Amino acid sequence: MEQVFLIVGLGNPGRDYARTRHNAGFLLLDRLAEGWRVEWAARKKFNARVARADRDGRRVFLCEPATYMNASGEAVSALMKFHKVPTPHLLVVVDDADLPLGTLRLRPEGSSGGHHGLESVERHLGTRAYARLRIGIGRRAADQREITDWVLAPIRKEEAPVLEKVLQTGCQQIECWLSAGIHEAMNRFNGVVTIDEN
């Protein structure tokens, strides 16, 4: 029987948010879809952009909710129910201001850490036991708790090379998660990405 997986990138729809730090999940999913050469389609039924890929006998759905961040769980829950995706086959990709820029951290479960997108997913699924890949975006000051302006600001030019490496490595980590499982993907890719100097 074919295995079904769902990979969700969290972000906000629309041109105004396209290259903001809060849309790191969308940026990684866009890169993954490009590498897999699959096309996005707007699916009103799920209030999301969805793409389908077949990877080594696995049916993989990519999802970018169009609900805005704080209601992301609506689309995630609807897709999981419709395609009968078991919770261990769900991966949510999300930005994290508590991790330095350039950091990737995959975990099999955990708290939302105050991230409203993860809070929505948790609320709609009724569990924290789903995999999440956090992409570090840093914060302007370590002790600053109000970060709305920071996460919704465009990625700066000097941050672009680090982000590019993060997207490349994040795609590799997701491929590893699919083929070898979460623990192998954590061991191989969690941490700070290194930028080639030459």
Question: Which residues are annotated as catalytic?
Answer: 22
| Distance (Å) of CA 95 to CA 9, 21, 80 | 9, 7, 22
Contacts of 125 (CB under 8 A, 6+ apart): 73, 76, 77, 80, 87
Q: Name the token pair of 102.
A: 């350039």
Number of Cβ within a 10 Å radius of residue 70 = 12
* CA–CA gap between residue 179 and residue 198 (Å, rounded): 31
The amino acid that residue 161 corresponds to is: P
